[in-house]
Structure 1
Amino acid sequence: MIDNSPTVHIPLFRGTVDKSLLDLKEGDEFPMNKVNSFSSSEDTAGSFILNKIRSLEDKPIMIAINTPCKALNIQPLSYYSNEDEYFVGKGYKVEKIEDREIERRQGRYITISFTKEIKDD
């Protein structure tokens, strides 16, 4: 279903503190579930990070899709319509990894790109 969604040409973001993502390297396949929630608002994704931080050891991680991808805009269906939420599927690789400040803490910014062919909608 998501692979048949419209092509999205805006950046999408997901905030997390998932420690397993700290082992990723540029060029790696990015681990995704069948359905993943992203936002078109980096601020919204940042607020999710703040809600997940439980200890000083939790490192904020921002995941950014900066290339066109297939995504399903669920904002009209969402109870939280201000989150600008999109469902994204599998098929991404790590393009760039940067250590930088995220939500006033030292974190990691991971840029991923869609690996499947996109045909014009």
Structure 2
Amino acid sequence: MTAEDLLNTLEDLKEEEFKQFKWYLQQQDILEGYQSIKESKLEKADRPDTVDVMVKTFHLHGALKVTKKVLEKINRNDLVQSLPDTRSGPEESVDVTDVGETSENRGTPSSQSKGKLLYSLVRMEALSDKVRF
């Protein structure tokens, strides 16, 4: 799952649906466990800007969860089904034990494993920036 996947999903929305999507991002009660996004950050945002704001606000996994929730609210369940499954927590735990394995066991890392490893490394770097000894 990448920010580009979210962008592709938002590009499938009609203009009125996209307007509703951004409205829901501003509503506190719809985002269950996630903060709302201020109107000023979204009022002039196009689709790529909206994805950037969502990823900065919710991180990638959270942006996916919020996107699914909002798509359900605007009755675009077809797009919800095209996105990968999410787990129940606000942050997905990353298991990098399968790095190097593919479904066909050819010894080269799958793109999903590469993504998990990259996500893990980025999270570790972000945490190390917060905790300096």
Q: Is the TM-score greater than 0.5?
A: no
Between Structure 1 and Structure 2, whose CA radius of gyration is higher? 2
| Superposition TM-score, scaled by structure 1 size | 0.26
| Superposition TM-score, scaled by structure 2 size | 0.25
Quick check: which one's helix share is greater? 2
Which gives a bigger RCO, structure 1 or 2 (Cα 8 Å, sep 6+)?
1
Quick check: which one's strand share is greater? 1
